[in-house]
Amino acid sequence: LQWADAASITVIAQILNSARSSRFLLVGSCRDNEMSDNHPISNMISNVQKLGVNATMIKISPLDKDLVNEMISDTLCLFPRVTRSLADILYHKTKGNPLFLSRLIVSLSRDGLLRFSLSRRRWEWEEEKIQSMKIPDDVAELLTNSIGRLPSDVQDALCTLSCFGASIHLDIVDVLERDLDLQLQNSLEVARKEGFLEKFDRTIQFSHDRVQESAFNMLNSQDRRAKHSGYGFALCIHAMNGCDDSMLFTAVDQINRGDPTVILDHEHSSLVARLNLQAGKKAMGMSDYVSALSLFEHGISFLQECHWQQNYDLSLELFNCSTKCAYAVGDHEKLKCRTDEVLSFGRVFEDKLIVLY
């Protein structure tokens, strides 16, 4: 929930307020170390509590030694007394972090320090080597090292997927393979078998957000921007020709995250500005004024110099829409800035009516 957008938080608050007298349970999770007291989720919880909604905060702590031993015992199908010594070692190395622990077990198996003995018909391990081995200080470094051991094409596929966030629809993968000549599906299947990805119907998602974070951090900032731009322009052709809103939002998001220096000519800058306008209008239609404002502002940023003279209609619509959203979200500084510009460059009185009234 710490990453939830304003529109989603508003919807959650409305559902909770309307369901006060019914048997309704909402379970959410968040990282409190990534949230301040003024975080939108914290404010939302405080507001609904004032209206009589019961909210219980449950702090999830790391696994203790006994739970770590129970987890390893279940994983290896051995009695807890047999796995106790191994569990103690892994507990001290991972501090009971479940993701760290599970990935470390996979790493030990891959390195041959934890292996299945056919002669004894059970798992066995080299305790002294595990005890003395140097492991990363945190789970992010361990995941980066684990990804680095995969074949290069699988690493590239994970990096590509990480540019789209936590998940990607296979329709987008199909477009990237066809238009950019990328070989993704086979590589992503290898990553799935290694436990880095999960697949649900036509959607592929990272098994944990830290996996996505580690894959994304393997790219330097320049490569990230270049990839975002390339993916965005490949998708925008399909977004303009189809009626799939999700494809449009994905294409525009990728372009906006990309390298603005690749858009040099007037035609391309107008196209990107128009796509942001189109996506922003759809976001407004869903009452997501925060996202809509961001899209309109991105559209304005792609307009070239003298845009009021060369692209008057597009400029006027972007500025008017930005003004509406700035008013809706209470961004008075942005509202004044955009209003002043429309009043300065509007050609006729009718064009200034929206910002005046």
What is the number of other CB atoms lying within 10 angstroms of the CB of residue 121? 7
Q: So what's the pLDDT on residue 242? A: 66
Q: Which amino acid is at 325?
A: C
Q: So what's the pLDDT on residue 339? A: 92
What values do phi and psi take at 323, rounded to 5?
A: -65, -45
3-class SS of residue 117: strand
CA-closest candidate to residue 98, choices 63, 70, 73 = 63
Residue 270 contacts residue 307 (beta carbons within 8 Å) = no
What pLDDT digit, counting tens, does each position of 144-163 carry? 888 888 999 999 999 999 99
The owner of tokens 């961004």 is 331
Q: What angle do CA 81, 87, 91 make, to 5 degrees?
A: 150
Strand order in the sheet with 167-169: 167-169, 203-206, 197-200
Q: Which amino acid is at 253?
A: D
What pLDDT digit, counting tens, does each position of 24-34 carry? 888 988 887 77
**How far apart are alpha carbons 3 and 342 in whole angstroms?**
34
β 197-200/203-206 pair status: antiparallel
b/e map 156-185, b = 16+ CB within 10 Å = bbbbbbbbbeeebbbbbbebbeeeeebebe
What residues contact residue 162 under an 8 Å CB cut-off, 6+ apart?
Answer: 206, 212, 213, 215, 216, 219
Residue 281 contacts residue 321 (beta carbons within 8 Å) = yes
User: For residue 123, what are the β-bridge partners?
Assistant: 116
Query: Which of the 8 DSSP states describes residue 62?
Result: P
Beta strands per DSSP E along 72-155 = 114-117, 122-125
**How far apart are alpha carbons 45 and 57 in whole angstroms?**
10
Q: So what's the pLDDT on residue 66? A: 93
Average confidence (pLDDT) per 10 residues, the chain, 357 residues: 82 83 83 79 87 86 92 94 93 87 88 91 92 78 84 93 92 91 91 89 88 90 90 86 81 88 79 93 90 94 89 94 93 92 90 82
3-class SS of residue 198: strand
